[in-house]
Chain A
Amino acid sequence: MSALTIFVGLGLLLFVLLLVVFVHMLAQERADSQRMLKVASALSSEDVFPVHCCHFPQVRQALSVTDQQYLKERASARVHRQAQEERRKVAQQFVAGIKEDFLRLDHKGRIVASLSPGVSRKLEFERLWLMLRFWMLYGLVRVQLAIGGSAIKELAQLTELVGGLAAQIERAIAALEEASATRLRPGISA
C-alpha cells in the first residue's frame, strides 16, 4: 500500500468523521448556561430510572415455558409458529428496551464525570472499554435472539443488573443532595 493511498484513505476517514461530528452537533441543543439546573433536575427526575426493566415480570410471563407448552398442546402448528414468532419479537423489543435503560443511565454517568472536579484516568478508560464491549456483546445477543435463542433466565439477570445500577445512582444522588444542599441551591435558583 503506497503512502498516497494511506493518506488519502486517512484524509477521507477524517472527513467522514468531521461530517458525523457536524451532524451530531447540529442535533444537539444549544449551549446552556443553566446546565447545573438541568443536571440537578435530570438526576433527580424519574427518567434516570429504568422503565423497561420494571415490566420484566409481565414479559417473563408472556415468554414462559408453560405458556409455550400449553400452546403446543392445544393450538395448531401454524398458530404455534405464529406465537413463537411473536414471542421472539417481544424478547427483541424487551432487549431493545434494556438498551434504552442502559443508555439513559450511561448518559447520567457521563454527565456526573464531566461535572466532577477530578476524574480517574483508569476508571474513565475502563468505562470506555466496557462500553465498547457492551455494544459488541449486545449486538451478538440480538443476533442470537433473532435466530431463535430463548435466554429468558439471562434476561432476568440483565434486568436485575440494570435495575441495580439505577438503585445505586439513586443512593448516590441522595448522598449528593445531603452533602451539597447548600451548593446546589444557588445553582438551581440562578
Chain B
Amino acid sequence: MPLNLSNYLLWASATVVGVVVCALAFRNGLFRRLPIFTVYVALVAIRQVASWGVIHALGINSMGAFYFYWITQAVLLSARAMAIAELCQHILAPYRGVWALAKRTLLGIASILLGYTTITTLGNSSQITPFILTAERGLELAATVILLTLLFIRAYYRIRSESAVTLVALGLCFYSTIQVLNNSFSAKWLAQYSRLMHFFAWWEGIRRISFLLALIIWCLAVWRPLSATAPEATLLPQQIYNELTPQVNYRIHRLNQWLQEMLKL
C-alpha cells in the first residue's frame, strides 16, 4: 500500500503534536504528576519519528515494517495500560476510603475483561490479522470501561481533580472508544476481505485521526503550567462516616418503603 499525501499529512501532524505534547508535559510539570503517562507520550513521539525511518528504509509492505509496527504497538499498549493505572491512582488515592473501594472494583473489572480478551483472542488465533485486531479490541474495551468507571466514581463522589489530569483521562478514553468501534468493524471486514487493502487504509486512517484528536486533547491538558504541588485532600474523622452513613441508608430505605406504599394506594 503506497503512502499518499493524506497519510503523510496525518503522520506529520501527529508527530509534531506528539513532540509538542511531550515537550509541554516536561516543561509544564505534568511529569511530576503523571510520570508514566509522560513516558508514554515520549514513546509515542519516538515511535512516530522512528516509523518514518523504518518505512523508508525497509518499505511499508516489508515484514520488517510489519514487525516494527506491531511490536511498538504492543509496547505502547502496555505503556498506556500502566498510564491508566497511574491515572486511577493519581485521581483516587488521596481519598483513601474511596480508593480502597474503587481499587477492588477496578481490578475486578480489569480481570474480567482481560480474561474475556484472552479467550476471544485465542479463538481467533488461526489468522494473524483477526488475532491482533481481536486482542487489541479487547484491550481497548478494557481500557475504555476502566476509564469510564474511574470517571463515574469521580463524578459520584464529587472528587475534584486538576483539569489537566481530567483531560488526560478523557483523551485516553476517547481514543480507546474509537478503537473499539474501529477494530470491531475491521476484525469483521478484514477477516472476510483481507485482500481488499482499502479497508486497512480506512482502519489506519481512523486510528491516526482519533489519535491525533487525543493528542490535541492532551496538548490542551498540558498547555498551562501546573502548580508545583498537587492539591491535597484533607480527610474528615472516620467517626462522621460511621455515624452518618448507616442512618442515611436507613432513611433512604424507609423513604423507598413509603414510596412503595404510596404506589399501592
Contact = CB atoms under 8 A, between A and B. Distances in A.
User: Does chain A bind chain B?
Assistant: yes
A133 B263 CA distance: 13
Contacts of A110: 156-158
- Chain A binding surface SS class: helix
B174 interface: yes
Nearest to A176: B240
Contact of A154 (B155, B173, B249, B261): B261
A102 B109 CA distance: 31
Most chain A beta-carbon contacts within 10 A, residue among B159, B180, B231, B255? B255
A22 B104 CA distance: 25
B237 A183 contact: yes
Contacts of A164: 251
Contacts of B185: 4, 8
Most chain B beta-carbon contacts within 10 A, residue among A112, A115, A179: A115
Interface in A113-166: 113-121, 123-124, 126-128, 130-131, 133-134, 137-138, 140-141, 144, 149, 151, 154, 157-158, 161-162, 164-165
A131 B141 CA distance: 28
A114 to B, nearest CB: 4
Contacts, number: 206
Interface size class of A (residues with CB under 8 A): 35 or more
Contact of B158 (A8, A107, A118, A162): A107
A114 B157 contact: yes
Contact of B259 (A36, A111, A121, A134): A134
A141 B262 contact: yes
B1 interface: no
B243 A175 contact: yes
Contacts of B180: 7, 10-11, 14
B101 A121 contact: yes
18 contacts: A21-B170, A22-B170, A30-B163, A31-B160, A31-B163, A31-B231, A32-B160, A116-B240, A116-B241, A123-B246, A127-B252, A134-B252, A138-B259, A154-B258, A158-B258, A161-B258, A165-B248, A176-B239
Q: Which 4 A-B pairs have the closest CB atoms?
A: A116-B241, A137-B259, A7-B184, A33-B231
Interface of B: 95-98, 100-101, 104, 137, 141, 144-145, 148, 151-152, 155-163, 166, 170, 173-174, 177-178, 180-181, 184-185, 188, 227, 231-241, 243-249, 251-256, 258-263, 265
Given A4-B184, A14-B177, 17 more contacts: A7-B180, A15-B178, A25-B170, A31-B231, A36-B233, A105-B248, A107-B158, A113-B97, A114-B159, A115-B235, A141-B259, A149-B262, A149-B265, A151-B262, A161-B255, A165-B247, A172-B247
